[in-house]
Amino acid sequence: MFGGLIGLLIGGLIVAVFTDTTFAEFIQKFYSLDISEGIGVFLVAIGSFILSLAILIPIHELGHLICGLMSGYKFVSYRIFNFTLLKENGKFRIKNFAVAGTGGQCLLTPPELPIEKIPTGLYNLGGILANILLLLIALPFSLLPLNPFVAEGLWIFILTDVVIILLNGIPMQAGGVGNDGYNIRLLKKNLLSKQGIVNQLRANALIQNGVRPKDMPEQLFLLPEHINYKNPLEVSVPLMHASRLIDRLEYDEALEEIEALYAHKDEIMPLYVKEIACELAFLYLRTGKTEKADNILDKDIRTYINTYRKMMSSKERLLIAIKLFLDKDQSKANELYEQFKSRADKYLLQGEVKSDLAIIEDMLK
């Protein structure tokens, strides 16, 4: 309602400046509107905004896809909201998957080139270019004599597109996650960040096709000497390394690395902090430090676990560990394991599923 009031005032000022109608006349005309027209204006506004997002987000991700393929990248997955099209062992499939704070995501795997020669600019810029192209197509239609409701819908589409272009194009971070503009600038000048995103993309392609972290090439997990913990692309490197140690059942070494990361939780982006906390709780449970695990597993982390357990198999692994080592409930742990096995094929990252199943079976023994 507050936003509507601000919009009304801005609209009145624009009308007063660019037309012969005064601000007072604009307000008077607004009050003289038929109630059905007012409801129509409101419904068209809401509907146009929802439709705009349904068009603009897929086109944005399609821009990343096209520009990535033009840069020599290979297709891995294309996600809009919770629906993901992926290529799994040479075949296309659709699965349900989501990432907090994102409406879509296009993941490709980089070309096999030396790190300094791998192109990243066009891949990251592709979404913005696609939205600018749509804007240039839509603007000429605004000059036509359209039905008022059609004109309203068109202008909402145009303004939504402008907002998406600005939110992705102006370098910024939201919750620690860099937008396209931020990543373009960062990857251009920071070789460690570039190595981090390249390794993530390559590992993602492998894990989606059923390869476990312990079976991936060693060079994907090389640790740097120094890390900027405020940079999520750099933090991903030790986080990936720790996940490989967990897959190898090397829990003491993994715990040492995860504790070192958790010590910097005030610097690390919130989503990664939750992931680190989950792995820390699991490692505390597996190394007999149940009291420390209980302290980590607060209401916020437990809510996070239950929210993502159907999308991330590592959360099922943690839930079973909680039942086994914290609640001492072997029967419930076995039940959760059987439920997890029955839907294992529905998860997106099959390499992670294989890893978690092996770890759970080792725990249940």
- Hey, what are 211's tokens? 């390869």
What pLDDT, on a 0 to 100 scale, did the predictor assign at position 100? 59
Banded model confidence at residue 162, pLDDT cuts 50, 70, 90: very high
How far apart CA 168 and CA 56 sit, in angstroms, is 12
Task: Give the three-state DSSP class for 174.
Answer: strand
How far apart CA 217 and CA 76 sit, in angstroms, is 18
pLDDT in tens, 225-240: 889 998 888 999 999 9
Banded model confidence at residue 98, pLDDT cuts 50, 70, 90: low
Secondary structure element (H or E) that encloses residue 236, with its range: helix 232-247
pLDDT at position 14 over 90: no
Q: How many CB atoms lie within 10 A of CB 261?
A: 22
Sheet architecture: strand order including 83-88: 91-96, 83-88, 74-80, 104-109
Q: What is the mean pLDDT of the chain?
A: 91
Give the domains, in start order, of the chain with CATH numbers.
33-184 (no CATH), 191-364 (1.25.40)
How far apart CA 206 and CA 204 sit, in angstroms, is 5
DSSP secondary structure of 276-309:
HHHHHHHHHHHTT-HHHHHHH--HHHHHHHHHHT
pLDDT at position 158 over 70: yes
The residue-averaged pLDDT of 305-310 equals: 91
pLDDT in tens, 107-136: 899 999 999 999 999 999 999 999 999 999
pLDDT in tens, 256-293: 999 999 999 999 999 899 999 999 999 999 999 999 99
Could you tell me how many residues make up the chain?
A: 365
Looking at the chain, the whole-number percentage of residues with pLDDT higher than 70 is: 99
Give the single-character DSSP code of 224.
Answer: P
What pLDDT, on a 0 to 100 scale, did the predictor assign at position 15? 85
